[in-house]
Amino acid sequence: MKNMIGKSVKLAIGMSLVASLLVAGVSSANSANGEKPKKQEWTKLEAEGKFSALQIGNRVYVFDNENQIFTTKGAGQLGPLQSLFVLGKGTPHEIPFVVVKNSKKGLMVFSDLWPKFDDGTYAADTTTAYDAGRIFYEAKTNIVSKTAHHTAVQKNGEVILNTANDFDDLKKGYHESFRAKGTLRGLIVYDCCGYLVVENSAGVLEVYHAGETGAEKIGEITLP
C-alpha cells in the first residue's frame, strides 16, 4: 500500500510539473505570435496505469510514462476531458483513449494515430489525435463508424458488430464479427478493428473486441 501511495504522489507531482510546463509553453506561443498572453490553467488530470491525460483549457494532452503521445486540437476535437481509458491493460499492447465532450459532436473518442498511418514521421508525431469513434449518453439501435467499415446494431438483448467484407468496396456487404450482451452505447475503431461500447445490467460501460471464441471484454469506461 505504501508503494502504491508513493507512486500516486510521485505521479501527481510529476504531472503537476508537466502541467506547469505546458501552460508556460502555451503562453509563450501566444506571446511569440503577437497575441496577448492568456491565463491558462489545467483543469483535470486522470491517470490509468502508465498513461495520463491532462486538460488545459479545452485541449487534452495524453502521455505515457516517458513522452507526450497526442493532443486534441481543432474545433472538432476540443472540449473537456470526460475519461481516460486503456484497452488491453496489462498486456504488451496497451492502447490509451480519451473521451472528450465536444460542444457540437457530443462524446468523442480519440487515440494516437495507427502505425499504418506512418509516413516516416510517426515516432516523432506527438500531437496528432485520431478520431476513433463516439459514445452516447442514451441507448442506440444502430451506429455506423466514420468510414462505414463497421456498424453496431442492437438486436433484442445483444449488440452485434458487423465488419465490411471489402474495405475498398462497401457494396460487397458485411459479416458479423461478434456479439455481446447488453445495451449499445458506442462504437470505437482502432487499427481497422471495431470495438463495441456496451452498457451491462449494472450500468457499467464495457468495451468488447473480437476474441478467439467470440466477444471478449477488453476494458471499461467511466464517465462523470
Residue 190 is assigned to a structural domain of this protein? yes
> pLDDT tens for residues 68-121?
999 999 999 999 999 999 999 988 889 999 999 999 999 999 999 987 777 777
CATH number at 194 reads: 2.40.10
Residue 59 is assigned to a structural domain of this protein? no
In order along its 224 residues, the chain shows pLDDT tens digits of 333 333 443 444 455 555 554 554 444 444 444 545 455 567 899 999 999 999 999 999 999 998 999 999 999 999 999 999 999 998 888 999 999 999 999 999 999 998 777 777 777 889 999 999 999 999 999 999 999 999 999 999 999 999 999 999 999 999 999 999 999 999 999 999 999 999 999 999 999 999 999 999 999 999 99
Range of the structural domain that residue 207 is part of? 139-224
Looking at residue 166, its amino acid is D
Residue 173 is assigned to a structural domain of this protein? yes
Name the E strands within the chain: 42-48, 51-56, 59-63, 68-71, 81-87, 95-102, 106-112, 129-135, 142-144, 150-155, 158-164, 174-181, 183-190, 193-199, 205-211, 214-221
Rounded to two decimals, the pTM is 0.83
- The total of structural domains in the chain comes to 1
